[in-house]
Structure 1
Amino acid sequence: MKPTAFLKENWRVLLLVVFVLGAVVALFLPGGVMGDSSYASQGESNQSWTEDPINLEYGLGLEGGTRISAPVVGMTAENVDAGVVSDGEADQDRITEIEESLYADEALDLEIGDANVVVHDDGTVSVELFVDDVSEGAFVAALEDADVGASEDDVREGVTQETRNDIIETITLRINEAGLSGGQVTDAEMSDQHYVVTEVPEMGEAELRSILEDRGIVEVVAYHPGGENGTQVNETVLTGDDIAEVDPPRQPERGTGYEVPVQVEDSSAEDFQSDMREMGYTEQQGWSNCRVQDPQTGEMEFNDEQEQHCLLTVVDGEPVAAHSMSQQLGSSMATGDWAESPRFQMGAQEYSEAQALSVNLEAGELRAPLDMTEGKFYSLQPALADQFKTYSLLIGVLSVISVSGVVYGRYQDRRVAAPMILTALAEVFILLGFAALIRMPLDLSHIAGFIAVVGTGVDDLIIIADEVMSEGDVNSQRVFESRFRKAFWVIGAAAATTIIAMSPLAVLSLGDLRGFAIITILGVLIGVLITRPAYGDILRRLLTDK
């Protein structure tokens, strides 16, 4: 047979082989198909391929860990008349004006990051406060002072969907930057209240709480003579939004503690350089004269009467390090050369603080705090999760053995039963490869989906075999094709019904049911598009005359 004719007759089987080989690569390629340079070095991660050669990630039920569900702190004034949108465009100056007015309101007593103006895609405007100790009346009064038309009827508890999406993205980045794998962050609605659900395998409750409770608002504050009679003042000169790139923490060549090298955004570099000149940091008296931090203990004591030039690294309002301006950096800012390559070091006394600083700069600040007092906490010990993993594997093996026995007992023909079992196993193997490719954290719900896929897959293969063999042996390929098409229409209709029934579960935030639905739908698609047609070709070659 010519190669072209062979390919034409057996392309479905070859397609199945290609997908199986792809699954092998996804499952066993060191570091994974989508791995990065740090993947294999995550020594304490459950995905260090040097310890586990299979590139599968496991969720809470199979790895142990913690799940925390917490609502977002805040209130929102919706559909306000703020004069923010003009001709379909958002006026950034007006947004800044509203936020500055809210921060200046003494009754609200807001801190940095506590107010936000959201312009929705439909052109409507909402104003948010991320605090829990302000009344609706005080909020409305502050909006009136900002020349924003709103009433108490416009104010509701909670924040906008845009803010929740931003929080989910930030927490996800924090988990990834911390070198953790298998974590998931979702938005769920419970009792008419939205919760941010964070689930991280192999992490204790205290550690996950620390990630979620930190707002991660990073500032560089200049502590310098600028008040009356030369007293010291604090002025914020950089925020996390001004940072373009962040390098991993390292120990400095001189001194103690740790430093985090950063690169400033080009748009902010000139302003920062200009501020340093005006505040005296680029002159000799502004170099190496910061003495607020004890070099041994790391504790800080501020004396506003003693002239100093310090650059403070402040996280969530707390200074974590204080450094002097070096002569080299100050001189380059004095000449204006620094802005051409705007890099410098932010400091921290402990490595944990430096690591947290690096993560916060990479992920950005948490737009709003989570209300841990209303949170729901769930933890699973790794030892118990290992038992679940063992039982899941055992159940999977038993299901395959049971199905194999039933199939062979029904047909008593290895030409029919053996390809059926191998095709069903190939379907599960391809699913596992897909999960490894996209790094889907497998949980108990996914395992249930895999078992369901085995059952429904073999059901469809039995339909094919029964229809093909319904009138005795098949000797003609034309007759085989006719019977196979009839069976495939039945399988296709059943697959469409399953997908339609499972789609709401896969889309809605229904906890573990979502994982079950996703695996079931993927299994049905792989079966209809790849494994069922391949099984038909195999049967055709085994049962018909050549």
Structure 2
Amino acid sequence: MNEKELKAFLTDWRIATLIILIVLSVIAIYPHFDQDGNIATNLQYGLDLQQGSWIQLELKGEVVGFTTDRPVNDFITNLSQSLDTEVDQIDATHLEIRKAYTQPDLEVQFTNAGGKLTSYQQGVSKATAEDAKMILENKINSLGTKDATVNTLTGFNNVARYIRIEMAGVDMNEAQSLVGKQGKFEIRVQTTGNDTEHVLFGNDITSVQTPAQNPAGSDNWGVAFTLSDAGAAAFQQAAIQSGATNDPTHHYLTMLLDNQTVYSAPLNTALATELKTTPTRQMIASTGTGTYGSQEATNLEIHLRAGALPVDVSIAGSGSTSAPLGERYKVMVLLAGILALITVGCVIYYRYREPSIVLPMVLINASEILILLGFIALIRFQMDLPTIAGLIAVMGTGIDQLVVITDEILHEGKVPSPNLYLKRLARALGIIVVAAATVIIAMVPLALMDLSTLKGFALITILGVLVGVIVTRPAYGKIIMEILSK
């Protein structure tokens, strides 16, 4: 191939696209040596391939069907009082009960409240599960835990019973202390003596600002936060009834997380005056001056952001991977990938006995895996064993499709004319597109279902099929045409 032909070959859109994606993938993966002289990359590994822990939490609640002859609001109010918990209406015939009860116990309570229990499902609504997921993510992120994923396991009936949390680099004891309990956050106000009364829970805090000096430029630190309308009204009512608006210096506000005091200070005088006439949503909790005040403000911000889970939880399952075992899995996965590529090359060589055909097939197959790894590194997707299985599956299906292209072009063992070559290539690509669509349709349910251990496999398989159809198969068609033309 002379210089002109080489330039034309490299500037062909199929080859140029492949080369650009390979270069971008290498940049995204960024192989380099770390401080210890070991090879490192930007790839993120899940619990299967590094030290970490996973916990599966059971959400303590029920979604039940009901009927009643009474006004629904009155029925729900009575039921909430008798059950001593929150009862939310999901739709016209279903309620969510945010406390653990057996079906027989609920049947009695429903009858006493003037209704009838028609169905019973353990768990909570999808919306409540998403709230719990968001709170857990905020708690984990605010505590500086990296490489953590939270997934809700929701059934086809939109009832979620479990949440699975995976935390890389965190041992089991730390993981259980982080997410193994509800984490109830509460604000109370001092009434008389050492007595306090409830004001609001953490779910009435709608936003939290980062620690800042208050006023700006001073040495006094604090955390500003915003209450919901209902929370602001409850705060004003509690301040007035407790007498805090008239004597703020002797009425402390206490913040508790899991019944442990995390903040306590008297009500601000200016705020007390304002609360006499109007509810206030904007609050600032002062934490002191200097380094101590700054650190206390940081800690308080974490507690305010953590909030409270909407329902109680219990640990339904857990597991962990040690650092040596994770490293061993990495080596085994690398060897498995290399062995799979070598095996594929040997089988293809046995079939065609022509290195000029086998080598491009193997290289195209390897480039496809490289592009997928680059995409994984770019979106910081955690690689686990199902993801690796997806990569190997892509490698196998990729070779299958390259064989289809090669056999279609070399029909009857003859090198076709350019026009016939294009017709055969188009026919081969048509077969591949249909096969790819079948694979994607088969994988979509796994990608959409809340089966966290299979999502990686499904997503990588779908992505690999798309990369193959859009990029690597057309590029291989161009490469094999140049080879056969010689």
TM-score normalized by the length of structure 2: 0.79
Q: Residue 219 of structure 1 contacts residue 237 of structure 1 at CA under 8 Å; is this kept in 2? A: yes
Among candidates 77, 85, 97, match of residue 64 of structure 2 = 77
Equivalence for 1:298:
none
- State the Cα distance separating 1:516 from its structure 2 match: 2.6
**8 A contact 2:394–2:465 mirrored in 1:** yes
Residue of structure 1 equivalent to 2:203: 241
Question: For residues 349-360 of structure 1, what are the structure 2 equivalents within 5 Å?
Answer: 358-359=301-302
Q: Residue 150 of structure 1: SS of its match in structure 2? A: strand
Within the candidate set 185, 190, 194, 2:151 is matched to 185
Residue 310 of structure 2 is aligned to residue 367 of structure 1: yes
In the alignment, structure 1 residue 334 sits paired with structure 2 residue 273: yes
Counterpart mapping for 1:44-55 below 5 A: 54-55=41-42
- Secondary structure of residue in 2 paired with 1:183: strand
Whether 2:407 is the aligned partner of 1:466: answer yes
Q: Does 1:68 align with 2:55?
A: yes
The alpha carbon displacement at 1:210 in A equals: 2.1
For residue 387 of structure 1, report the CA deviation from its aligned partner.
0.7
Q: Which position in structure 1 is the counterpart of 2:25?
A: 23
The match for 1:324 among 233, 252, 266 is: 266
Q: Distance in 2 between matches of 1:193 and 1:311?
A: 36
User: Which residue is 2:132 aligned to?
Assistant: 167
1:278 Cα deviation after fit: 6.2
Structure 2 counterpart SS, 1:62: coil
Partners of 1:515 and 1:144 in 2: CA distance = 47
Give 1:313's aligned amino acid.
M
Task: Give, in angstroms, the shift of residue 394 of structure 1.
Answer: 2.0
Aligned residues: 467
Structure 2 distance, partners of 1:395, 1:232, is 66
Structure 2: 5+ residue runs without aligned partners?
none
Tell whether the 8 Å contact from 1:212 to 1:370 is kept in structure 2 after alignment.
Answer: no
Pick from 286, 291, 294 the counterpart of residue 248 of structure 2: 286
CA distance in 2, matches of 1:83, 1:542: 81
- Distance of aligned partners of 1:264 and 1:509 in 2 relative to their CA distance in 1, 3 Å threshold: closer
CA distance in 1, matches of 2:455, 2:414: 43
Which of 373, 378, 389 in structure 2 is aligned with 1:432? 373
Structure 1 residue 118: Cα displacement? 3.1
- Provide the secondary structure at the position in 1 that maps to 2:100: coil
Q: Deviations over 1:336-386 (max 9, x none)?
A: 7998892312769999998776445435421212233xx222222121111
CA distance in structure 1 between the aligned counterparts of 2:477 and 2:68, rounded to whole angstroms: 65
The answer to whether the aligner puts 1:116 opposite 2:87 as a matched pair is: yes
C-alpha separation in 1, matches of 2:71 and 2:19: 58
Q: Which runs of 5+ in 1 are unaligned?
A: 31-46, 86-93, 226-230, 288-307
Identity %: 30
Aligned counterparts of 1:420 and 1:167: Cα–Cα separation in 2? 48
- Greater share of helix residues, 1 or 2? 2
Distance 2:99 2:122 in 1: 10
**2-structure distance, mates of 1:535, 1:428:** 15
Residue type at the aligned position of 1:312:
T
1:443, distance to aligned residue in structure 2 (A): 0.6
CA distance in 1, matches of 2:427, 2:323: 49
* Separation in structure 2 between the aligned mates of residue 540 and residue 338 of structure 1, nearest angstrom: 79
The 1:124–1:206 alpha-carbon spacing in structure 2 relative to 1, beyond 3 Å, is same
**Secondary structure in 1 aligned to 2:440?**
helix
AA of the residue aligned to 1:432: L
Structure 1 distance, partners of 2:57, 2:421, is 58
SS of the equivalent of 1:393 reads helix
Q: Give how far 1:74 is off.
A: 2.7
CA–CA distance in structure 2, aligned partners of residues 345 and 204 of structure 1: 33
- CA distance in 2: counterparts of 1:174 and 1:411, whole angstroms: 58
Q: Distance in 1 between matches of 2:274 and 2:481?
A: 81
The structure-2 alpha-carbon separation of the partners of 1:100 and 1:26, relative to structure 1 and needing over 3 Å to count, comes to farther
SS at match of 2:419: helix
Shift in alpha-carbon separation, 1:512–1:422, aligned structure 2, 3 A: same
Say whether 1:128 aligns with 2:97. yes
Contact 1:320 1:353 in 2 (8 A): no
The answer to whether the aligner puts 1:212 opposite 2:185 as a matched pair is no
Does the CA-based 8 Å contact 1:312-1:319 persist in structure 2? yes
**Cα separation, partners in 2 of 1:12 and 1:383, compared to 1, 3 Å:** same
Deviation at 1:410, TM superposition (A): 4.7
Q: 2:191 aligns with which of 189, 203, 224?
A: 224
> What is the Cα deviation at residue 405 of structure 1?
4.3
Q: Deviations over 1:190-248 (max 9, x none)?
A: xx9943332222222222222333323322211133xxxxx564333343233233245
- The equivalent position to 1:491 in structure 2, one of 420, 426, 432, is 432
For residues 263 and 23 of structure 1, do their structure 2 counterparts lie closer, same or farther at Cα, with a shift above 3 Å needed? same
Deviation (angstroms), 1:59: 1.1
AA matched with 1:217: K
Q: Check conservation: 1:79, 1:124, Cα contact below 8 A.
A: yes
Tell me the TM-score normalized by structure 1.
Answer: 0.72
Q: Secondary structure at the match of 2:116?
A: coil
1:396 deviation in Å?
1.5
Counterpart position of 1:536: 477
* Per-residue deviation, residues 456-492 of structure 1 (Å, max 9, x unmatched): 2122112212322334564632121112122223323
How far the C-alpha of 1:60 sits from its partner, in A, is 1.1
Distance 1:363 1:440 in 2: 25
Residue type matched to 2:202 in 1?
G
How far apart, CA to CA, are the structure 2 residues paired with 1:84 and 1:483? 71
Shift of the 23–340 alpha-carbon distance from structure 1 to 2, 3 Å rule, reads farther
Judge conservation of contact 2:125–2:160 (CA < 8 Å) in 1.
Answer: no
What amino acid does structure 2 have at the position aligned with 1:119?
Answer: I
Counterpart-to-counterpart distance in 1, 2:327 and 2:366: 24
Letter in 2 for 1:11: W
* Greater alpha carbon shift after TM alignment, 390-399 vs 268-277: 268-277
Does structure 1 conserve the Cα–Cα contact (< 8 Å) formed by 2:248 and 2:272? no
What secondary structure, in the 3-state scheme, does the structure 2 residue paired with 1:457 have? helix
